[in-house]
Amino acid sequence: MTGLYLDERTLTKNEFTSAALVANRAFFNDPFFRFLSPGDRLRERGLTIFFRTNLAHAGEGARLVTVRGAADTIVGLSLWLPTNRYPQSARTQLAQLPGTVRALYRRPRALVDGTKYLAAVAKSHPKELHWYLYLLVADPTVQRSGVGTRLMEHGLAETDAEGVGSYLETQNEDNLGYYRRFGYELRETLRPVDGGPPLFTMWRRPR
């Protein structure tokens, strides 16, 4: 798809909302979020709040890159936490907390299950120096047009230049093949909640 370009500008308040809506559309049918919030209306509301909160409060040093199209419209984005930026600071986590609670409070069970997933993620996080791919999103209208590839290549160029590995989690088994194209290997399969979808952790060595 022509006319798309990478952009590293700091987002405005309205652009954080636009970016969150892109993430909402991309993850609306994701197995993890469907498990936490089975109802479509609550999930749509909650995802927008959740993603906007996490994007706007990503923490010091976080690298948020967008792909934009016509009229400067955001159609994709990546959020990386560079070396030694995970875990996020207590201040950043506190800033994220109100939005996360607002996103899930109408389904208290989701708060319990979500906390179990977060604990499993923290426990399995690698100790090696690395960049953490916190989020990769392409709007469904532009998927398979190279948006994700542009974002991945941009981020991985920085990890390789630094000579460190890269780590991510995905809750969608269909994504494993996609990330393998960029050199990631499956590291662990997490099952924090009985009956809930697995989380797959992946690691890429520097090149």
Q: Tens digits of per-residue pLDDT, 75-109?
A: 999 999 999 999 999 999 999 999 999 998 888 89
Average pLDDT over all residues of the chain: 96
Measured CA to CA, the distance from residue 87 to residue 132 in angstroms comes to: 10
127 vs 113: CA distance, rounded Å: 25
The 10s digit of each residue's pLDDT in 150-201 is 999 999 999 999 999 999 999 999 999 999 999 999 999 999 999 999 999 9
Q: Which pLDDT score, from 0 to 100, does residue 106 have?
A: 84
pLDDT one-digit tens code per residue, 30-56: 999 999 999 999 999 999 999 999 999
Which domains are delineated in the chain?
5-204 (3.40.630.30)
Cα(184)–Cα(74) distance, rounded to whole angstroms? 26
Whether residue 1 has pLDDT greater than 80: no
- Is residue 132 within 8 A of residue 159, CB to CB? The reply is no
200 Rama sector, left if φ>0, alpha if ψ -120 to 50, beta otherwise: beta
CB 94 within 8 A of CB 38: no
Question: Residue 191 has what DSSP assignment?
Answer: -
Task: Locate 96 and state its tokens.
Answer: 């994220």
- Maximal C-alpha separation, the chain: 45
Token pair recorded at residue 196: 């809930």
Per the CB < 8 A criterion, the answer to whether 20 and 158 are in contact is no
Residue 67's pLDDT band (cuts 50, 70, 90) = very high
pTM of the model: 0.95
Instruction: Calculate the alpha carbon distances from 183 to 130, 177, 201, 206 in Å.
Output: 14, 10, 13, 9
Please tell me the predicted confidence (pLDDT) of residue 2. 65
Is residue 9 scored above 60 in pLDDT?
Answer: yes
Q: From CA 190, how far away is CA 200, in angstroms rounded?
A: 6
Pairing of strands 130-138, 185-190: unpaired
Whether residue 53 contacts residue 96, with contact meaning beta carbons closer than 8 Å, is answered with yes
Residue type, 44: E
